[in-house]
Structure 1
């Protein structure tokens, strides 16, 4: 495999996809240029393998790996994801070992099922079904108090499970971040320079781990604070929003790095 001049790691919602319409149309010129130069574009999201797989095919990025479930797993190039992974089943089994008085306060996607996820998240039935086809992590709703949550997470920690809050859901996994998976993906291409693009606090590790990080403007959320390396020019900020900002910054960087 020829080593590319660089590779790209991109968050989806609010970054490559418009915050409201989920359209990526504004980013198509830069995506076409990256494809023409054989630059791997690695989608990195909290979405599941089936969700990422469908979008990766639509964007004609199936030759690139993808980071799924917020860094809990890596989908290899052209890999068809399983409907449910063994790691996820182990995670669900571990939940059965938690004190029932604490466990009852956590309703994971496996408890809610596609209908419950559709109702809670406002997803169409087919998208809710794919969101429940998990391989590595379990998002869920927490309705206990702070002390109960501390005890719940402590019991999970004894089983090797960590919990991270992202938006409305508390997500459980056996660990791993987008930054961890970046190195695995880069190893497939002999570690070229890495560009990462994101818009939210859960992208921070990925942005700081890249050779060049790009914060995409998103007026719908609180702006990211100054990140490590930003003063030195290792992290940039777009002026345009969402996919338009993605396109603006990638065209500039592609010209500079190629």
Structure 2
């Protein structure tokens, strides 16, 4: 199917992009990597009057250090996140999750910020961003503001972004020395996660001192597994102890039933995959 007609704008700066969005109104759409938006346009599930293409905004790309945080530009591709030395050293969980995103072609085109702003609850980057306590920097006509990940994801495909705002960068607190793993379950290769678990732990002398765990596709937004985190602190990094803590993984979740699984199966997957993810991270 052919998309409905729309105006096309290709700004070269963030300010120009914000102006274009403000002028276009609520019916505008932002084009980042296009891996999610273009299929929607072709099926006419979205019919924007204006498309604002961020491909020429160079300031939105790249990874840099800023004190105790990494700053990742929203137009940085998944491929570049995968291979960045700073991400590997200070945010291993993001690398682990990005390694599982779709296939190499999509990772070369898809963008870090685009996937986050799309807010698909089955997407692989939302749970790691939540688990790491990231902050999302948003720019609009009134300037810039910072939104905690816990407040940014509001519902399925819904974020704290206003119609005339852009996600410009993500601030990732450094988790240097932490070990991480992303455990993903899907029916076929490269499909969306039925359930996935982002786990990041800091261990000392065989004991888990700190843990951050979040779940993918266990609700309309990513879910922090607070009960698991609480049970893991001070826990011996053994398979038995970790599996015991993982039994709390489904607490506070609200998964949906679909053609892939029912609610009970997703809750079961959450417990099993949490055990696997934490055990792999703790043994890292």
- Fold match by TM threshold 0.5: no
More helix by share: 1
Give the structure-1-normalised TM-score.
0.28
The structure where strand makes up a greater share of residues is: 2
